[in-house]
Amino acid sequence: MKNVIRDKNIVLGVCGGIAAYKSIELLRLLVKQEANVQVIMTRKACEFVGPLTFETLSGQPVCISLFGDDGDASIKHIDWAKEADAVVIAPATANILGKIANGIADDALCTFILAVTSPVIMCPSMNTHMYENRAVQRNIDILEADGKHIIVPGEGELACGISGAGRLPEPEFILEYLISILSTKDFTGKKVLVTAGPTRECIDPVRYISNYSSGKMGYAVARAAAKRGAEVTLVSGPTNRCVPQGVTCINIESALEMSTAVFDAMDNSDVIIKVAAVADYRPKKQADQKIKKSGDELVLHLQKNIDILKELGGRKKNQVLVGFAAETQDLKNNAQKKLTEKNLDIIVGNIVGTPTSGFGTDTNKVTLFFKDGTSESIPEMDKEEVANILLDRILMVK
């Protein structure tokens, strides 16, 4: 993954809520991404978690009060505000939401926020009734109108014993959100259609034909494009992946369903990236009932599916069209043949079936083939990093 967090100055504000313990994990993740993190805690937060934990993990003094008793950090908060690339307040209590919405400056955190000009992400976390209270919602509206980023809390069992909205999202989710805020927005205004995962071709009510695609590469492309500001529609076959933040997902099963979804979205797309591993054939007949075992052999008659990408290539107007070629041999010839036959701008050739590249792996080793006959070999790397290089090249297509 292109590390947009590395060497960034991130200020983590921690308030007094039961979820304060989760911000320790968030700090750990930020430090792992090589961010320079400075922590400001409210006095109430210190009753839930000890400042020493934050101090040890961040390697920096924690700021708790405006003046005096926590030494150096107390007077530096204005410098921190100047230097901060982003601020995350997690958890954000009803109290801090109210204070920041109304410009109150009676502790280190809300005074600091008044001086900050970089993006501020606030993660409300509290009891459901408190969260739904009109005063709290009114403050959230004000904060949003003032340009603060509010992450809507999750729903579930809360520490107070009731179930509903108010949970602090998982630290990984908050980190993803922050990455998205800090990423270059060079796809703003572009509509990107991505397909991902396998298709399933039904044999009978309990069986299907499919392939080993996990959806990891397609979801990485969708996530990277959304982070870079694109409006992303993801047409996905069955996978167990989470839909990336800000992406609209249309779930399909078969190649026919994928073709309908893709052709519907085509005219409204600037870029189409077909990462999905589409089944080339489907059973000619789908049995209404479970097929019972009988003889030693069973013959399934298969019928060719539509080649969605080829059809897109025939219909394409101004869209940039990108395909993936999953090959087990002769990558160059096979990929270039598909590039020409399907009228593509770029095809991403990748050898599948190795432990570090292809279906189900976290990394990929690909070669990009361009319509002008040139190619570019990309060394093995994380799938999201591959996705970002592909997006860079898409921006260069004339």
The residues assigned a catalytic role are 160
> In a 10 Å sphere around its CB, with 0-12 CB exposed, 13-18 middle and 19+ buried, how is residue 239 labelled?
middle
| Cα separation, 10 vs 174, whole angstroms | 13
CB of 165: closest distance to ligand CTP in angstroms? 39
Q: Which of 48, 47, 40, 173 is nearest to 112 (CA)?
A: 40
Q: At what angle do helices 171-182 and 20-32 cross, to 10 degrees?
A: 50
Closest Cα to residue 92, out of 101, 83, 84? 101
Segment interacting with ligand CTP (CB under 6 A) among 52-60, 117-125, 144-152, 270-278: 270-278
Binding residues for ligand CTP, how many (CB under 6 A)? 15
* Residues 66 and 76: beta-carbon distance below 8 Å: no
Residue 25 makes contact with ligand CTP by CB under 6 A: no
Question: Which of 253, 270, 280, 380: binder of ligand CTP (CB under 6 A)?
Answer: 280
Q: How many CA atoms lie within 13 A of 266 on its CB side?
A: 20
Query: Measuring CA to CA, which residue among 159, 83, 168 is closest to residue 122?
Result: 168
Provide the 8-state DSSP code for 112. Answer: H
**Site map for ligand CTP, 296-325, x if CB under 6 A?**
---------x-xxx-------------xxx
Give the number of other Cβ atoms within 10 Å of residue 186's Cβ: 13
CB neighbour class for 293 (10 Å; exposed up to 12, middle 13-18, buried from 19): exposed
Query: What is the nearest approach in angstroms of ligand CTP to the Cβ of residue 325?
Result: 4
Q: Is 90 in the site for ligand CTP (CB under 6 A)?
A: no
In angstroms, rounded to a whole number, what is the distance separating the alpha carbons of residues 268 and 190? 10
Does position 274 interact with ligand CTP (CB under 6 A)? The reply is yes
Q: Nearest approach, Cβ of 291 to ligand CTP (angstroms)?
A: 25
Shorter beta-carbon distance to ligand CTP: residue 177 or 324: 324
3-state secondary structure 302-339: EEECCCHHHHHHHHCCCCEEEEEEEECCCHHHHHHHHH
Instruction: Pick between residue 178 and residue 277 the one whose CB is nearest to ligand CTP.
Output: 277
* 255 near ligand CTP (CB under 6 A): yes
Q: Which of 14, 20, 276, 321 binds ligand CTP (CB under 6 A)?
A: 276
Asked if residue 177 binds ligand CTP (CB under 6 A), the reply is no
If one asks whether residue 338 binds ligand CTP (CB under 6 A), the answer comes out as yes
Q: Whole-number minimum distance, CB 269 to ligand CTP, in Å?
A: 14
Q: Establish if 192 lies at the interface with ligand CTP (CB under 6 A).
A: no
Of 22 and 338, the one with the shorter C-beta distance to ligand CTP is 338
Tokens, residue 189: 């205004």
Q: How far apart are CA 260 and CA 181, in angstroms?
A: 33
- Residues 314 and 343 sit within 8 Å (Cβ to Cβ): yes
CA distance 165 to 365: 42
- Which one, 328 or 377, has the nearer CB to ligand CTP? 328
In angstroms, give the least distance from the CB of 195 to ligand CTP.
Answer: 6
Give the span between the Cα atoms of 95 and 378, in whole angstroms.
50
**Does 326 interact with ligand CTP (rule: CB under 6 A)?**
yes
Q: Give the residue with the Cβ less far from ligand CTP, 45 or 278.
A: 278
Q: Least distance from C-beta 385 to ligand CTP, angstroms? A: 20
- Cα(336)–Cα(325) distance, integer angstroms: 9
Structure-token pair, residue 73: 């950090």
* Cβ closest to ligand CTP, residue 89 vs residue 348: 348
Distance from C-alpha of 197 to C-alpha of 219, rounded to nearest angstrom: 8
User: Which of 95/195 has CB closer to ligand CTP?
Assistant: 195
Shortest distance, position 328 Cβ to ligand CTP, whole Å: 9
What does the binding site for ligand CTP look like in residue numbers (CB under 6 A)?
255, 274, 276-278, 280, 305, 307-309, 323-326, 338
